[in-house]
Amino acid sequence: MKFQKLLVVCIGNICRSPMVEYLLKREFPALEVSSAGIHAMIGHPADDKAIHSMMQQHTCTDISSHIAKQLNESMLKQADLVLVMTASQQQFIEKTWAFSKGKVFRLGHWRNKDILDPYQKDQDFFNATCSMIKDCLTDWYEYL
């Protein structure tokens, strides 16, 4: 099954999910990709360290125009696939919106890995997170 509409979710929607969103948009321009946060920092831009990691490690993928949005039921209903960063985020979404079961997966599903939150960590942690995101994302390419 090929997916058309993807939703990427993390906690604040300023670090991990924007990184994934913009990488997917770059690699798959025909897909409709968006991101949101479970406890979003609504209206905030992407974290400066996330912007720096993406510009340095991913051929100048600029996420500076990103604005954080709060996850809601409508977003989940519209999405064909929802990628989250951790098992606890998956559990929260599936418990809160039972209809979403079966379309919510961890980005690191194929590697049985969570993508830990780099928020308020140093640049090296952001860079490592960015690399892990890219590695885990490639596992999904055959389905997109």
For the annotated catalytic residues, the residue numbers are 10, 16, 117
Residue pair 51/86 in contact (Cβ under 8 Å)? The answer is: no
Cα distance between residue 19 and residue 13, in whole Å? 9
Is the Cα torsion angle 116, 2, 78, 105 positive or negative in sign?
negative
Q: How far is CA 14 from CA 19, 48, 67, 88, 143, in A?
A: 9, 9, 8, 18, 26
Cα distance between residue 133 and residue 65, in whole Å? 20
